[in-house]
Structures are given as structure tokens and as C-alpha cells.
Amino acid sequence: MIKDLKNWAKYEIAILLTKVSPSSKIFGPPKGHYTDIDEYLKHNSEAGTKKLLLDEKATDQQQNFARHLVSITNGRINLNPWSFITEDDKLLFKESSCYGPVPKDHWVFRSIKLPKLHKLAGKTLFLSSRSNYWHLLADELCDLTLLTESGINLNEFDQIVFEKSYFNAGKELQAIFGLNQASQVSLNKFLHIECEELFFFTGTFCLSKHALSLVKYKIDSFLELSWSKSGKSSKRIIVSRGSSTTRRWLNENDCIKLLDTLNFKLIDPSKLSLSQQVEAFSNAEIILSPHGAGLTNIMFCSPGTKVIEIRSQEQGGEYSSAKCYEELSQIMNIEHHVFKCEQVKRKELKGRSLEDADLVPDPEKLKNFVCEKVFI
């Protein structure tokens, strides 16, 4: 009740500020919104462009995948709350992440003052504000691949907004795709950026089989691997969450002890090089893993590989991205099963979704589920 009152008060104060503030660059929220980039360009045809990169037809299980490269003059990116803001001080609603169905639900309209503004001259490509392995492979590198396939070179941009990876495999991937040579700008450092000419990607939020195949081929060529089974890695692997701070597997050791008789080998992808991760997953026949970025590597698995994903009972709601690995498995022809378990929310996660709570699967139930689903 108190939280709702605070949110209502913030919204009402912010609305009042729009009437007295000349621009959200100074204080207050943006002056309004456009439903999407199409509405903006309809009313401001000289203020930007929209180029189709890919239009992938749907399968029975997957919606159409369309991806575009958009450019707008004097566009702004704000990290928290996440927003694309136009030159005339309006939010691009569909392009700005919002866990709600209507524009007024967007947190930017409760902002009393946005972070200090930093200006960038020339052409700026916005790629990502995340350093997560999943988003690097499934989002950023797919977009970059579609970009180069369309004949657009990274050298055409004066700077690229992305986060440098802090783990070995991510650093290798960024080097493979040329990001290590780019002039990098961190949105996590500057928070609020205005670009003389801002380029960013838009489209449906689903995985593209075509883009993934291009990414996989480029990695394959770089590592000089054929994705064939070498026989050196374990056929059955358990993926550890390692040092992750969210969705920790609290009773991992208890579950591993019980599964030990089934010849599983524990791996921690965060400690492996890219080639080691690729080898482990390409040779695996059965994979057991909590929901997390380590499962991104199932894109390197052979068709028919069996995957069991451990998720909390809270994951998978209307605005949840928890089903991303199921969708990836579907594209890669992998047999995917989900084991739902209890979760524990820590004090440190105050304000965070229950989807980030720690996992506590019942060891016996998990073992029985594994035996039932993979026919051991």
C-alpha cells in the first residue's frame, strides 16, 4: 500500500514537472511518447531512417522474426529507467523496455531528474548495456552478423555503445566479431547519452534461426572446429552457477552426490575458455543446468541432445524471458525439459523479482525427473 502511494506520488509530481521544465534533459520526465519508431518516423520523416535487416518467416512454433536498423538524429539513451528518447523529448515506448502494457507504466514518467547528459558526436551504434553471456551471443552478435550481412561495416560508426566482457569466453567472442577494435562507450558509466546520429536495432523479441546459424558458423570457422564429437568430453554434464549472485543453486552439492551414480560431470562455464565450452556442450548427450547464461552453450549441441533446465516456480510469467532456452532448444532441435522447484528469496534481492531467487530443488525428485525424462 505504502509502495503504491509512493509510486503514485512520484508519477503525479513528474507530470507536474513536464509543465514547467523545458526538457527532460534538465529535469522532469519526457514530454510524452510515441507508440514505436514507426509512429515517430511517420510524424518526423526527416528525423531518421529504418532499414530491414532480416524478415524470417514463422514456423509452426515460432513467430515471425523481423529485425531493423533504425537511425534518429539527436536521439538519447537512458539506462535507468531504460529509455530511448527522441529529439522532440518523447519516449519510444515499444523500443524502451517496460514490464507493463501501457506507456504510463514506464518508470521514466516517474523520473524527477534523469542522470547527467553526455553528448556524442558523429554516428553512434547502440548495441547493448549488458555484459551477460546469453545477451552477447543471442542478441548482440546476432545483430552484428545481420548488420555485416547487409553490407554495413562496423568501421562506419564513430563509436559503439556496449559493455566489455569480464569473462574469458566473452572476451574471445568480442574479438572474433571485431568489437575489440571498436571505439567503445559504456552506458553503465555515462548512464544518459545524446547522440548526434543514433543507430539501434528494433524488431520482434524472439530468436532467429538464420542469425544464430551465421553466428555459429563464424565461431566454428574461427575455432576451426566442425562441431563433431571428439569423445574427449563427458557425455553427461551438470552446469554449475559458479560465482553467480542470482539464482544460486543452494543445495548443488547434495544434488550432485545423488546424481553421481548416473555419471554426470560438473562444469563451471565461467571458468572455461570459449573452445572448452564449445567442446563440452558439443559432445554432451545429457545436460542438467539451472536457468542461467551457461545454457546459452546449447546452441553448440548436436540435435537430439537432452537438456533438463532447473527453474523456480515463479519463472515463466507474462513478461518473463525465462523460456528463452526452451526457444533456443526448439530452434536447435534439442529435447528440452523443465524441472520446477522451490526458491528462496534473499534480503540482498530486495526489490528484485522472485525470478532471481535462489533455487532449492529436492534431490530425490530431481533424480527421479532426470531418470524419467532422459530414459536412463
Radius of gyration of the chain (CA): 22
Q: Report if residue 191 sits inside a domain.
A: yes
Which residue among 195, 220, 245 closes a domain?
220
pLDDT in tens, 332-368: 999 999 999 888 866 655 555 666 788 999 999 999 9
> Which secondary structure element, helix H or strand E, spans residue 315, and what is its range?
none
- Roughly how many angstroms between the first and final C-alpha of the chain, as a whole number? 51
The amino acid sitting at 205 is F
Cβ atoms of residues 277 and 225 within 8 Å: no
Is residue 231 over pLDDT 70?
Answer: no
Number of domains observed in the structure of the chain: 2
Residue 113 CA to residue 244 CA, distance in Å, equals 32
Q: Report if residue 46 sits inside a domain.
A: yes
**263 in the same domain as 353:** yes
pLDDT in tens, 40-52: 999 999 999 999 9
> Which secondary structure element, helix H or strand E, spans residue 339, and what is its range?
strand 335-344
Q: Report if residue 39 sits inside a domain.
A: yes
Residue 299 CA to residue 346 CA, distance in Å, equals 32
The 8-class DSSP code of residue 185 comes to E
Query: CATH number, domain at 310?
Result: 3.40.50
Residue 196 CA to residue 121 CA, distance in Å, equals 5
The lowest-confidence range among 66-70, 79-83, 142-146, 318-322 is 318-322
Cβ atoms of residues 124 and 184 within 8 Å: no
The 8-class DSSP code of residue 351 comes to T
Q: Report if residue 356 sits inside a domain.
A: yes
Q: Report if residue 226 sits inside a domain.
A: no
Cell of 62: 515460432
**256 in the same domain as 213:** no
Residue 86 CA to residue 84 CA, distance in Å, equals 7
**50 in the same domain as 180:** yes
Residue 345 CA to residue 351 CA, distance in Å, equals 11
Cell of 238: 551438470
Which residue among 193, 220, 247 closes a domain?
220
Which residue among 220, 249, 281 closes a domain?
220
**141 in the same domain as 80:** yes
pLDDT in tens, 279-327: 999 999 999 999 999 999 999 999 999 999 999 876 655 445 678 899 9
pLDDT of residue 6: 63
Per the structure, the complete domain to which residue 6 belongs is given by 2-220
Calculate the CA dihedral of residues 251, 254, 257, 263 and round it to 10 degrees.
-30
Cβ atoms of residues 309 and 291 within 8 Å: yes
Q: Report if residue 231 sits inside a domain.
A: no
**285 in the same domain as 176:** no
